[in-house]
Amino acid sequence: MDLYDLFFYLSLGAGFLMAFNLGANDVANSMASAVGARAITVRQAVFIAGILNFVGAVFLGSHVTATISKGIINAQYITDPKIIMIGMFAALLSAALWVLVATLTALPVSSTHSIVGGILGFGLVAGGPSVVNWLKMGGIVLSWIISPFFAATIAYLIFTHIRRTIFFRREFIKQAQKWGPIWMGLTIFLIALSFLYKTPIGKKLHLPWSISLLIALALATFVWALGNYFVKKIVTDKLEGAEGVELIFRRLQVGTSCYVALSQGANDVANAIGPVAAIYLISKQHMLLAKAEIPTYILVLGGLGIAVGITVLGHKVMATVGEKITTLTNTRGFAVDFGAASTVLAASNLGLPVSTTHAAVGAVVGVGLARGFSAVDFKVLGRIVVYWVLTVPIAALTSIIIFQILKWIIY
């Protein structure tokens, strides 16, 4: 076994650890609003997220190509393939260790930013500041502000609208039966556009914007018509209290949670297996390309890691995001899901860098603020923000230390 093979096998272990953390932290926080609002139990969330993330990762995931360096460094300036291989391994391991620390302390962090920090660290040491794309790094810093504020604003407006049009009216079951199907249609509209523009399989269709819009509108109208029929079956007694309204939105939340789990597996698995694919490519061809085909068995490894991660440690981050920042009901949880999903979709299409983790937390804070400042636990929020800011520097520093130790051993 030569050095290249050795690092490839080691990277499989590090990739599994990163996928494990992805499941335990990233995936868990996206299911948190449904668990916090009691739409599903922790056990059901683990079951849904485990299976749908695995399916999303293996069958809808980035199985054709994955962007390897995420545009953070220009690997062409580093001529020795061994240096890039060691660096990618150091980046993967440092990101996995940081997300594990965050998960064990029950705080949500962005796995994308962890990998970015790791790649930045080894890039600085291996090639100097000139190999780093500082404009891209500026965008990452900007995303700490964009994602949570966008999502918080949208979630705040949606929950305020639900309160004004349903809870503040006299016949709120009748109002919920009127507005429930409209929100169902809007949710499907968002999911359809998100599927076409955010998942690798949707992007491969290369549909023009007008056709995508027509497909989304047709699906939304169909679901709105179905909703009008089924919502009346969910709550038959018009004198039923607020619990009847929550029951309607509970069904909606189960649907949005399933979609989030599926799309997250498809989109985020590359964070864990992208560096593994880079090392695989270098071990076989002794060079690194900007994009690489990922073998299916590495995708399966990533999918399994995500499923095991959410099963073993997912409950920790779910409890923080779903219960400790503010109290969630089904209507608030729905506003959170809708706010986070629409932020990620809109900002991505505008070319703005966003983090699903930051959007989900921002949306939870938004619905909390709709009930006043006292409804939000700012101590918990402060700890989360500190971890967000520390993610890139800590992952970068750890990556530098691991990279230098490995370089010292090998050279």
- Is the pLDDT at 98 greater than 60? The verdict is yes
Structure tokens at 127: 């090639």
Identity of the amino acid at 246: E
Structure tokens at 44: 């059901």
Over residues 200-226, mean pLDDT: 86
Which pair of structure tokens corresponds to residue 113? 């930013």
Q: Residue 406: what pLDDT?
A: 94
Other CB atoms within a 10 A radius of the CB of residue 89 amount to 26
Question: How do residues 338-390 score in pLDDT, each as one tens digit?
Answer: 888 888 777 766 666 577 788 889 999 999 999 888 999 999 999 999 999 99
**The pLDDT of residue 63:** 46
**Helix, strand, coil tally for the chain in percent (to 5):** 80, 0, 15
Mean pLDDT over 201-220 rounds to 86
pLDDT confidence of residue 291: 65
CA separation for the pair 16, 150 (Å, rounded):
32
Mean pLDDT of 321-332: 89
Task: For residues 273-278, give the mean pLDDT.
Answer: 81
pLDDT of residue 70: 57
Q: Token pair for residue 140? A: 């990452």
Got the DSSP string for 88-137?
Answer: HHHHHHHHHHHHHHHHHTT----HHHHHHHHHHHHHHHHH-GGGB-HHHH
Average pLDDT over residues 32-41: 84
- Beta-bridge partner residues of 132: 73
Tens-digit pLDDT profile for residues 389-406: 999 999 999 999 999 999
pLDDT of residue 292: 63
**Whole-number mean pLDDT of the chain?**
84
DSSP symbols for 355-382: -HHHHHHHHHHHHHHTT-GGGS-HHHHH
Question: What is the mean predicted confidence (pLDDT) over 121-150?
Answer: 85
Residue scoring higher pLDDT (124 or 284): 124
Cα dihedral sign, 283-285-286-287: negative
The fraction of the chain above a pLDDT of 90, given in percent, is: 28
Token pair for 372: 């006043």
Query: Which pLDDT score is estimated for 16?
Result: 93
pLDDT confidence tier of residue 101, bands split at 50, 70 and 90: very high
Q: What pLDDT does 65 receive?
A: 45
pLDDT on residue 396: 95
Angle at 76 (CA atoms; ends 19, 404), nearest 5 degrees: 60
> What's the pLDDT score for residue 2?
80
What pLDDT band is residue 209 in, cutting at 50, 70 and 90? Answer: confident
Q: Which segment, 60-64, 194-198, 328-332, 362-366, is predicted with the most confidence on average?
A: 362-366
